[in-house]
Structures are given as C-alpha cells and as structure tokens.
Structure 1
Amino acid sequence: MPRILWHWLFPPMVLTLGLLLIWRSLALTTLSAALLSLPWLLLMLVLWQHGLRRANTSTDRTIDVILLGGPAASDLMQGHASREGLHQRWLWLADAEQLASWHAEHYRVCGLLLVVNADQPLSAATDPALSAWQRAWQHAQQQLGHPLPAALLVIAAYPAQAGSLQPSNPAIPPATDYPAAQQAITRQGRAMEAESWHSNIENRQQALQNSIALQWLQQHTAEQFLPILLPQQSARGSPALHAIGWMCAGDLTGDSPWQQAANQASHLRLHSLRPANPPQALPLPEALVASFPARLSCPPSLQRLAWLFTTVALFFTAFATSSAWNNHLLIQQSEARLRAFQMLKPTQEPLRGHAAQTLQAWQEHLNSIATNGIPLRLDIGLYQGHALASISNEALRRYQPPAPKREVVRLDSTALFDSGKAVLKPQAKLALQSVLIWLQANPGKRVLIDGHTDNTGNAASNLQLSQARAEAVRSWLVTATTFPITHFAVQGLGDTQPLDSNDDATGRSKNRRVEITLIEPPGNTR
C-alpha cells in the first residue's frame, strides 16, 4: 500500500473504531461518551496531519549505513563526507558529539567503525579525543535502543600496497571489556603470523618484515587504544567490539613509537624497502563490517501491514474486554433478581409476588435483546442472555401464585330477618343497598349467597331456615338488579360453619349471618 494512501485510510479507520468503542461498546452515559469522544477526535486529527506531512516529504526506502568516527576517520574517507560500499553507505562523522546525537529517518545503522592512526604520537590531546568517541559510542547505543556493534581499524604507514596488512578474518568474539579484546588480538596475531610465513611471498625478508610489523602493531593497539575503548570489566548493556583490523597507509617514516620498538627488537630497518606500487586511496574495509551481526529488517509495506493487524487486534481486544465486562454486569443483575425471588418463602406474600414480577420483567428484557438483535456492547460471541433467560424462566415456571382471596360481605341475620323467619324485614333494604352497589360495580363476577344459623334448635330445621333466608336475599337482588337468577347461587349451611362459639349470646349472634361472595366465572383468569 503506498504511503500516501496509507495515511489517508488508516487514521479514519482508527477514528471510527475508537468512536464505535466509546459509543457502542463501553457502558457510558451520553455525557461521558461525548466528553471522551472530543479528545479522541482531536488526537486523531493531529496524528492524521502529522502522517500526511511525513508521507509527502519521505519515501519508503531504507538505507543501511556504516558510521565512521575516531581521530583518523578523515584519512580513510579522503575528505569525502560519504562513500558507497558494496552493501552499505559509509558516513563520516567529524565530531564525537555528532555520533551521540545522530539520527536520520530512513537510515538503518548497521554498525560503527572507529579509525585510529598508529603513527600519530600519543599526546594529552589524543587520549581525550578517543575517550570522547568511546562515550559517544555508548550513548549512541542507548539512544538507538539496541546494540550498536563496532570495529576498530588501525591505520599505519608501511611499505606495501595500500590497504594491505588486513587479516583474512578480522572478526573476533564480541568483546565488551579489555581483557577479552586483548585475548582476541593475541589469537588473531598468531593466525596472521602463520598466514604470513606460509604465504607465497618470494622475498622471505618481506615476509619477516610483515610478521614483525603485525606483531608490533598488535602490541601497540593492545597497549594504547583498547584500554581507552573498553573497560577492564564489562557491565550490563556495554557496547561490544566485533572486529579489529590494520591497514597500510603509505611509506614508513621511522618516527612512530611502534616503528621504533619494532626496529629495536628486530634490528631491522623496516623503512629500507619501498612498495612495488605507490599507495593509492585507501579501500573501504568491507571485511571488518562483515563481522557485524545482521539486523532483521522489515519492508515498510510489511510494517504498515503489521500496524494494521496490531491495531485491529488491539481494538478487538478492547471490544471483547468491554463485552466481557458488560456480560459480567448482566450476569450480576440477573443473579441479584433471581436471588431476591428465591430467598422469599411462599408465606412471604405479596413480597414474593413483587419479586416474581420483577424477575418476569427482566426475563422479557432478555428475550427482547435476543429478538431485536444483540447490541455490540454485549456481543463478540460473549452474550450470556440466552442461558440467563432460561434460568429465570425455570424459576418462574415453578412459582405458584397464591389463590386470590374471595371478596365476602357478611350481613347480620338479625338486621334482615326476625327470629326463626325467612322473610326480609322492611328495614333490610338499607343493609342490602350497599350490597347492591357492590354487585353492580362487578358485573363480570357471579354471586354466591350463603345462609348460616347458630346451633339453637334442630339442625335440620336450621339448615332449611338458612337455605330459605339465602333464597330470600337472592330474590330481592334479582328484583333490584338486571342480573338473571342464574347469576346467583344460594346454599344453606345451617350451623356447620360457625365463626364463634355458640356457648354465649355474643357468639351465637355472630354465627347467625348471610354471606355474599363474588366469584370468578368458569374459564376466566385474572
């Protein structure tokens, strides 16, 4: 995907996903969602503009570079700020501070090459300069956030073809301290000396001089340069030296410390011989940087694809987490309503009935969610409403609501009839008037009229008297209303259902009564 198209499509996608998360997934109020959406919108606009500016001013190409530093880097670069190698571009940094703060977009740093000159006399100024490069190297590694491999190149004047004296394999085990580097140089020197003596050089005197030069250059490097670049004891995160090499840069002068030490030890005059060809521009030491560990790189198109998948995965995780939390709250609410219903005993009416109504309303809410479509805040395959509705339905199925209480009016027989009689008194109409209004207010219900007596006298006579009194009341009600006679049912119960004891006058007075009850007709439910 082209960079400009990526920056046109990716931010709106992220913006849309974020707004969906805020408004459709998170359990927020409208005000909270609006307050959260505003900064999200502003942030996406800022990132969008920044991405478009970068897309218009940059390319997708990433260039591998080798950074060159050190007191003698200019000798290798021949005054050029950069040189093109076989696989990398070589960039010269003239000052150690440039290395410490170096950063360039679309450049991938493969490593650092520090160049020193073995022929320059050691002075008070040389040591601080190399120490500054060592500090800049360590700081640059911290700035990059990953290891910055380095190699050391020692340039020395020597009567041979320019670029010679390079070891065939300059790589050493990564050394983060001076003792490890010194041991690596010792092993490297032995290998180079053996190669020099077994080479096809016809002039054995030249082979001897090469061996001596290598020996003293290595000793000079180990004594003068390595103690400055590497600490005596490595620490966590210390930069590592991966290669050490030497390179011929011209004729000997006989004035450098390593030359004088070599002449005194070997009793030879190294500068007496002249190179077969005059030294030309120094070649880039490709063999040194070949020892740097390869860095895994990803093409920009794959990086953008990784960004896309990562973003989608993060938003999916956010949606799934929000859905899981909302379903957790849904389960808690269902459990609270179910527990409130199940904790009440059948005797705790009407509280148990109210709890059943609440549970029924919650079950209808869960069923409506399943019918109308599961919202995003509960979806992502985590919705638990079906199982919760089944549990609530099972609890309600087992619930038996209490039978409705009958509506009963009791009338004192003394106010309606004379003793032992079944004919209504004239003033009985006043007592029955309220009953008449009550019946007319409930025309859909049937009427049951029960006659009751005390236990005075014969039980059979009392049963007939109670039946006659109930029929008398029915007759008056049929006449006073428009209800047919079949709307009323009568029964005489005599003294079989007393309300109180018949041992005293007060109890017997309560037992002499007429009860009028409203009942639901068959097939009618409330």
Structure 2
Amino acid sequence: MNIPNHLRAPLIWITILAAGLIWLFLPLAMQPYWILVFGAVLAIGLGIIGLSVHRQRRLRRLSTDVQLSAMRELPVVLIVGPYAAAAFPRSAQDGVLRREGHAVWLLVKTPEELAATMSMVKESHGRFPDAALMPVLAEGNPDDAVMRREFTQWRRALEETSRNRACVLPCYPAIYACLGARDSGSDKSSWFGDVIDMSIVTPSMDNARQRLQMIRRQLDQSSLTSSQPGRLTRDALGQSVLDWLEDTALLSSIAPLANTAPFALHGLLLADIGYTPTRAGSWTRWLVRKTGLQPPATSIVSEPLPLPEVIPMRVAQTKEYRRIASRHATQHAVAAMAVVLAASFFASGWKNSQMVERIASDLKTYWDTPDEQFNAKRELLGVLRGEYAEVQQYAKGGVPVGLGWGLYKGGELQSALERAIAAYRPPPVVLTLDSLSLFDSGKTSLKAGASQKLQDALKLILSNPDKRILIAGHTDNIGSSDANLKLSEARAKAIRDWFVAESSLPVTLFAIQGYGDTRPLASNRDAAGRARNRRVEITLVPDVKSH
C-alpha cells in the first residue's frame, strides 16, 4: 500500500503509541503482561525500521533511466510570478518557451495570462500543466517593500479571477541568489530544498516556513560534510538568504501567492546560480546592514535563470527523496519507541509507588490496631487478604504493563503481607454465667436446673471444634481468700466434668482456673456488685496447633 508521505509520520506515531500506551488507561486487572507489550512495541518499531532499510536498498538498485522511460511525454511547467521573465531569453522569438531537461517551460507574464495559457496546454496536451515554478530574485529590487507589493498584487489579481479554480497546480517558489563564484569549468547551479516531482499529487502538510527549515538543515548537512572554504561560505550565505526572506516578511507574501488557486504549495527551492543576474538589490543591502559583509563580487551575466531538474515520474518518486522519507520513517519509529518507554517507565514508577504506599499504610494501621479492637482488626485483616491476593496473582500470572518494566515491588510486599496475616489471632469467645444459677451458696455441686443453663454453653462449644475451652470460676469477697479460691476452682472443675460427661469431649480440651475474689468486675461493697462478681466465665480460645 502506498501511503502518502505526509501521513507516514502520524501513522507511525499513532501505531507505536497506541500499542505501548493505550493499556495504561485500563484497570490493572485488564492490562496485559508488560513483557508482551514491550515485545509488541519492539516488533512494530523494528518492523518499520526494517521496511525502511529494505526500501532504501531497493531504491539503490533502481535506475533513474528506467523510471524516466515510464513517461510518454514531457511535463509542462509554467513559470509564474513577478520575476518569471528572468528565466527566459530576451529574444522575442524564444521569449515564452524553453525546453530544458525533462520538461517544457512556459512563461506566464501576468495573472491575466494564466487562464489562457492553461487552456492552451489543456487543448494541446489533453491535460492541464503539471506544475508551476515561481522565481524569487534575491537582488530583484533594491527595496524589499516593492518586492512584497509585487507578489501581493499577483495574488490579488489571481483571487479576482474564477477560471480554472477546479485545477490544482503544484507550485514551487525558487529563490535565486549568488552565494559564491561559479566553479571553474562548471556551469551548473547548486540546488537545495524540494525536488519538482510529477508523481507527488498530494500537497505536503508542511507550510512554507517548515520547508524553509528543511533547506536550512540541508545547508547545515552540506557544511558538515565538506571542508572546502568555498562550500562553507556558500552555505553560510544560503542561511543569510533564508534569514532575509523571514526578516523582511517576503516569505509571508510569497507563501500566500503559492497557495492561491489554482496554485498549491508543494515545495520550496534555493538556487546558488554562481553569478549575479542583476545589480545589487534587497538581499545585499540587508546583508550589509545586518552583518557589514558583502556577497562575493561577480560580474553581471545577462542570461536566463537556470531551471531545476524535473522528475517526470508517475509511478515512483525520486530515489533520493524516497531515501530521505525512509530515513525519516526510521527516525520517527525510534523516537516513538523512546516516548513509549519513557512514558511507561514514568507511569510504572508512579503506580508502583502508589501501591507500595497504600499497602505499607494498611500494614502499619493493622499492626498499630490493638487486638482488643476486634471489629477494626478483623476489617483490616480483610483488606490485607485482598492485597495479598492481588500481589499473589501478579506473581503467578505476570506483572501488568502499568506496574512492570522492571520496577515492580510486589515481591517485597508479599512477604510482609504473609507475616501480618499469619500473625492474626481471632478474639476469644467469652460466655459468662451467674454462679448462683448453677450452685447453691458455698457449694461445688451443680444444683437442679443447672443443666438447662449449661446446654446453651455446650452447643457453643460443639459448634467451634477448633477452639479450646477455658473455664474460670470467680467469687465475691465474702469469706477468706483461700476458701474463695478453692471454691471457684472446684466449681470450674464441676462444670468441666459435666461437659465431658454430656458430650464425650476429651478432658484435655478443657482448662480450668479458679480466681476466687482476685478479679472482680464490680465493687463488693453492695449486693449488686457482689452478684456480678459471683460468676463462671467459659472462654473459647483458638487452638494454636490448628491455626
């Protein structure tokens, strides 16, 4: 599939960013294993790079002659704008047409002639012209304000016409300047910027200022790859021409004209023609005023402006242009993968820190909560168990992309959660019975009717087979402490014996303890307080071995 050049970079970025970052917006439970996402991003990026490298190698094997043979006729290029006449000889016989290189060039002197010229080409070739070249002479006029006005007048005149609005004519402004004396024995000009390629039917998304930056990069690259003083001077002067265009706002007058129907800006060119076609003009004056430097002195040559190469291909672009596009695809792929990695590392670090902070806070709250706060302790235990299940799932099923990339801290938290959960001891169950409802005063034998009250306690014991039973007897302070201590222990033993006899439970499951009057619940100064203190407490304690 042939994807337009201006869509390749956005598609590369969208594809790689979607493959690497869309998962971060899903809940952790729905995110894939981070290694899989990393592999997908790496595979897509390497695939794009591999295709770009393969394309460059294939382009090296293509022959420009073979590509040119695909053309059955030469393209027609109109030369337009206020300085179009400078590209043609002054002879009246040959003043409107040039056949040079792989194209036919036609002069359009005024905006009014444009419609008639396009119609003439349509009748003779069966199609409208293929492109338009708009010369811009750096020395075209001593006053840059006059130059701006000339391009503006052309644009306004075009806007007033309505013919041929349906035809889109690719337009290439070309800046002509003398950046250095022509090399000895050479009559070729040096060109920078875009190539006039007939196969590009979709205009570039870049505006004139962005095309200008592309020429700057080409000049910088030329300076880096050449050590010849003349080349360095040429490249520096080329940069100054571009500065002049922006500083004098000429670019702001040229670009609108190049985008006025039927024109559509497709590229921008800079030509070092090696001689001065006219006397010193706006650029020289600007350069002297800004830097105090003079362009190289050359003799004025009265000859038509040189014309750029035209690639009359309809099936493929130029090799060099496509190599540049392939290199750009590789650069975009690498940059997009770097963004994915940086964003993923940042997101993973942030989410890991949140998880560590959350679990560490829950663990601290759990350990700081006293065991006596049964309900709060039990609720916190449920939270820790949920977090333990979460980190255990990651350990078994893989770390999600939002926590991965080598930053996952769940392993350390898992062991801390295990220790906290293992240390939990359920609170004991305590059942308190009134001693006088079970025993007569001062007696250790169960009285009639006591069995009914002990049945409820037995049911509770049988429903908790994993618990051990502590039976503790308590008395008031009536009588001696030794007698009360023996009385309380004897009553606890009597209750234990009843449980064993009624349920066949092993006696080793029970523990008895007599406290006498040492642990009162209330004051023994009144009858109500003494009644509360005369009690038997049956406590169900978790069995350590079964926990």
Instruction: Give the TM-score, by structure 1 length.
Output: 0.52
1:307 aligned onto 2:328: yes
Residue 466 of structure 1 aligns to which amino acid in structure 2? S
**1:60 Cα deviation (Å)?**
8.0
Residue 346 of structure 1 aligns to which amino acid in structure 2? T
Distance change >3 Å, CA 453–CA 362, structure 1 → 2: closer
SS of structure 1 residue aligned to 2:175: coil
> Partner residue of 1:82?
98
CA distance in structure 2 between the aligned counterparts of 1:518 and 1:392, rounded to whole angstroms: 31
CA distance in structure 2 between the aligned counterparts of 1:359 and 1:146, rounded to whole angstroms: 71
> Partner residue of 2:211?
none
SS of structure 2 residue aligned to 1:489: strand
Q: Is the 8 A contact 1:407 1:518 kept in 2?
A: yes
> Partner residue of 1:511?
533
Distance change >3 Å, CA 98–CA 472, structure 1 → 2: farther
**1:314 Cα deviation (Å)?**
4.3
> Partner residue of 2:108?
94
Residue 365 of structure 1 aligns to which amino acid in structure 2? E
Which of these residues, 428, 451, 456, is aligned with residue 406 of structure 1?
428
Residue 474 of structure 1 aligns to which amino acid in structure 2? R
> Partner residue of 2:397?
372
Distance change >3 Å, CA 241–CA 95, structure 1 → 2: farther
Residue 432 of structure 2 aligns to which amino acid in structure 1? R
> Partner residue of 2:490?
468
User: Could you report, residue by residue, the CA deviation over 1:341-362 in whole angstroms, capped at 9, with x for unpaired residues?
Assistant: 5367334945466446435533
Structure 2 portions without partners, runs of 5+: 30-63, 69-74, 119-128, 156-169, 180-186, 188-229, 245-275, 309-317
Residue 341 of structure 2 aligns to which amino acid in structure 1? A
SS of structure 1 residue aligned to 2:546: coil
CA distance in structure 2 between the aligned counterparts of 1:138 and 1:359, rounded to whole angstroms: 78
CA distance in structure 2 between the aligned counterparts of 1:424 and 1:147, rounded to whole angstroms: 118
Residue 489 of structure 1 aligns to which amino acid in structure 2? A
**1:25 Cα deviation (Å)?**
4.3
CA distance in structure 1 between the aligned counterparts of 2:22 and 2:407, rounded to whole angstroms: 21
Q: Is the 8 A contact 1:93 1:99 kept in 2?
A: no
User: Could you report, residue by residue, the CA deviation over 1:366-411 in whole angstroms, capped at 9, with x for unpaired residues?
Assistant: 44335423344555x3x5322x552575487579956533222222
1:326 aligned onto 2:347: yes
**1:135 Cα deviation (Å)?**
3.4
Q: Is the 8 A contact 1:451 1:469 kept in 2?
A: yes
Q: Is the 8 A contact 1:406 1:518 kept in 2?
A: yes
CA distance in structure 1 between the aligned counterparts of 2:285 and 2:473, rounded to whole angstroms: 118
> Partner residue of 2:383?
358
Distance change >3 Å, CA 431–CA 135, structure 1 → 2: same
Distance change >3 Å, CA 447–CA 145, structure 1 → 2: farther
CA distance in structure 1 between the aligned counterparts of 2:408 and 2:5, rounded to whole angstroms: 40
1:346 aligned onto 2:374: no
CA distance in structure 1 between the aligned counterparts of 2:520 and 2:466, rounded to whole angstroms: 30
Q: Percent identity?
A: 25
> Partner residue of 2:150?
135
CA distance in structure 2 between the aligned counterparts of 1:333 and 1:95, rounded to whole angstroms: 73
CA distance in structure 1 between the aligned counterparts of 2:174 and 2:130, rounded to whole angstroms: 18
Distance change >3 Å, CA 498–CA 146, structure 1 → 2: farther
SS of structure 2 residue aligned to 1:442: coil
Distance change >3 Å, CA 497–CA 331, structure 1 → 2: same
CA distance in structure 1 between the aligned counterparts of 2:471 and 2:518, rounded to whole angstroms: 15
Which of these residues, 484, 499, 511, is aligned with residue 489 of structure 1?
511
SS of structure 2 residue aligned to 1:148: strand
Distance change >3 Å, CA 359–CA 424, structure 1 → 2: closer
**1:521 Cα deviation (Å)?**
2.9
Q: Is the 8 A contact 1:448 1:489 kept in 2?
A: yes
Residue 149 of structure 1 aligns to which amino acid in structure 2? Y
Distance change >3 Å, CA 3–CA 309, structure 1 → 2: same
> Partner residue of 1:24?
23
**1:11 Cα deviation (Å)?**
9.4
**1:419 Cα deviation (Å)?**
1.7
**1:426 Cα deviation (Å)?**
0.9
Residue 464 of structure 1 aligns to which amino acid in structure 2? K
Distance change >3 Å, CA 363–CA 304, structure 1 → 2: farther
Structure 1 portions without partners, runs of 5+: 31-57, 117-125, 153-162, 164-168, 181-217, 249-281, 290-296
CA distance in structure 2 between the aligned counterparts of 1:10 and 1:127, rounded to whole angstroms: 42
Q: Is the 8 A contact 1:340 1:355 kept in 2?
A: yes
> Partner residue of 1:449?
471
Distance change >3 Å, CA 145–CA 385, structure 1 → 2: farther
CA distance in structure 1 between the aligned counterparts of 2:519 and 2:282, rounded to whole angstroms: 118
CA distance in structure 1 between the aligned counterparts of 2:396 and 2:416, rounded to whole angstroms: 19
CA distance in structure 2 between the aligned counterparts of 1:465 and 1:228, rounded to whole angstroms: 122
Q: Is the 8 A contact 1:72 1:115 kept in 2?
A: no
Residue 176 of structure 2 aligns to which amino acid in structure 1? P
1:148 aligned onto 2:175: yes
> Partner residue of 1:479?
501
Instruction: Give the TM-score, by structure 2 length.
Output: 0.50
Using the TM superposition, name which of 70-79 and 511-520 deviates more.
70-79
Q: Is the 8 A contact 1:412 1:513 kept in 2?
A: yes
Which of these residues, 447, 451, 455, is aligned with residue 433 of structure 1?
455
Q: Which has the larger radius of gyration?
A: 1
SS of structure 2 residue aligned to 1:299: helix
> Partner residue of 2:443?
421
Distance change >3 Å, CA 97–CA 409, structure 1 → 2: same
